[in-house]
Amino acid sequence: MGELEAVERSMSHRVGFISTRFAGNDGVSLESAKWAQILWELGGHTSYWYAGRLDRADSVSMCVPEASFNHPFNAWINKNVMNQPKRSRAMTGRIHDLTAYLKSTLYRFCDKFEIDLLVPQNCLTIPMHVPLGIALTEFIAETGIPTIAHHHDFYWERERFQTTGVDDYIDMAFPPRLPTVQHVVINQTAQEELGWRKGIPAMLCPNLFDFEHPAPEPDDYSSDFRQELGFADDDVIILQPTRVVARKGIEHAIKLMQMLCDPRYKLVITHEAGDEGYDYMHMISELANESGVDVRFIADRLADQRQLDVSGRKLYTLWDVYPFASLVTYPSLYEGFGNALLEAIYFRKPVVINRYANFARDIEPRGFQLPAINGFVTRKTVEQVRRLLEDEDHSREVTDFNYTIATRFFSYEVGRRKLSALMANVLMD
């Protein structure tokens, strides 16, 4: 270790990441892991994890089940305060009780790991867990601990948070206006809305990917993916790498498949419906059946890590699937940024995209070559997609070009610059 590196290591900090969940392939968990890696590369800053659900090592984490947004205590509170114009006195007491308990666990977490910098991930942004947001806000106010609050999607972006019995708490804690907190958002609209609604300045840091290192190739474990999932040799996988929820606009992918009109093309949907019910999934299944589109739901064959299920079948990760896709569909109606888009570009896959607002404003101006849906599927878009599927040289040229653009604007180097500035700001004496 050189003298300069030794000095940098001596100035390293112990960073506490806070959220309701750090587990799986959701955007918050993925982006948090990327930040932790970048912080380590910047100066040996070590990361520790606090959440209600965790897949991090026990030696660097504290799991507090009550901090999960799915915990029965929190689910009961949400049921009785969301879409309600007021709350009862008893409900206020329940919220205070859970807040006090969670705040005590935050003190234990920071004492145990000697945390000197907090990085709340979305838990001061969207009120999925109101008591945790209040507890964290009070903890920061009481300790004055330097904090970088990373915001992915705000409550005003979701219809279900427009009428609540906890508007006073939401105004206080989502996010809080505190002098030791630096705020980070992932798109320009959020940056402007946060300033307008709360008077809070924020740094813009987009979602990131490690474009400096190439995507992994299939190996011995994943090489049999097509055979294991029953695809014929001439089947062409069109990948929809999202949950089955209405804002993902999967009906546009089905319409595209119908207009392509080729029985070899299979629309493969990777994730389940999630926490928003199954009505949309049933609608998608019925629409596909009526349209003559072959849709494959493969969530039961995917997991966060490679393993066998109870029947002894192989479970694959999402990254095992990407190399076998010929095209990725991303027809979302709304996204805070678009992690799956960067992921597809990282795997050098052509992408057809719906021009959701944050894509049109933050990503499209970078110059990517992507067939676009502008609210509906046109014949021109279909022919652009058909060429990408049938002309390998053209597809390779497009995907290489997109990879170069993404490396310039969304690589870890961008994150290193942003986080270096944030660390300098928040840790100033």
For the chain, the domains span 11-208+412-426, 225-409
Long-range contacts of 272-279 (CB under 8 A, 24+ apart): 272/243, 272/244, 272/299, 273/243, 273/244, 273/245, 274/243, 274/244, 274/245, 275/70, 276/245, 276/246
Q: Distance between CA atoms of 121 and 29, rounded to whole angstroms?
A: 9
Q: Nearest-5° angle of CA 49, CA 55, CA 58?
A: 60
With a pLDDT cut of 70, the percent of the chain lying above it is 97
User: Closest Cα to residue 130, out of 163, 158, 165, 104?
Assistant: 165
Task: Tell me: pLDDT of 155 over 60.
Answer: yes
pLDDT value of residue 8: 45
What letter represents residue 153's amino acid?
Answer: D
Can you tell me the mean pLDDT for 95-101? 98
For 48-91, what is each residue's pLDDT tens digit?
999 999 999 999 999 999 999 999 999 999 999 999 999 999 99
Element (H, E) at 281: helix 279-291
Mind giving me the DSSP string for 165-211? S-HHHHHHHSS---TTEEEEESSHHHHHHHHHHH----EE----B-T
Average pLDDT value for the chain: 94
Give residue 273's pLDDT: 82
Q: Which of 172, 164, 70, 181 has its CA nearest to residue 120?
A: 181
Question: Helix, strand, or coil here: 116?
Answer: coil
The whole-number pLDDT of residue 160 equals 85
What DSSP designation does 215 have? P
Alpha-carbon distances of 163 from 224, 247, 295, rounded to whole Å? 49, 20, 37
Per-residue model confidence (pLDDT) at position 5: 46
Q: Is the pTM of this model over 0.85?
A: yes
| Distance separating alpha carbons of residues 390 and 109, to the nearest angstrom | 55
- Residue 218 makes CB contacts below 8 A (sequence gap 6+) with 225, 320, 323, 324
The SS3 call for residue 77 is: helix
Cis amide prior to 175 (ω within 30 degrees): yes
Mean pLDDT of 322-329: 98
Options 3.60.21.10, 3.90.1170.50, 3.30.450.20, 3.40.50.2000; which CATH number does 11-208+412-426 get? 3.40.50.2000
The whole-angstrom separation of Cα 410 and Cα 37 is 15
Do 11-208+412-426 and 225-409 share a fold?
Answer: yes
3-state secondary structure of 370: coil
The CB density around residue 81, as the number of other CB atoms within 10 Å, is: 23
User: What is the distance between the alpha carbons of residues 248 and 258, in angstroms, rounded to a whole number?
Assistant: 18
pLDDT digits (tens, 9 = 90+) for 8-60: 444 789 999 999 999 987 889 999 999 999 999 998 999 999 999 999 999 99
Q: Are 355 and 372 in contact (CB under 8 A)?
A: yes
Q: Are 369 and 346 in contact (CB under 8 A)?
A: no
Q: Interhelix angle for 412-426 vs 27-43, to 10°? A: 70
Query: In CATH, which superfamily holds the domain spanning 225-409?
Result: Glycogen Phosphorylase B; (3.40.50.2000)
Residue 148: per-residue pLDDT: 98
The residue with tokens 């609608």 is 283
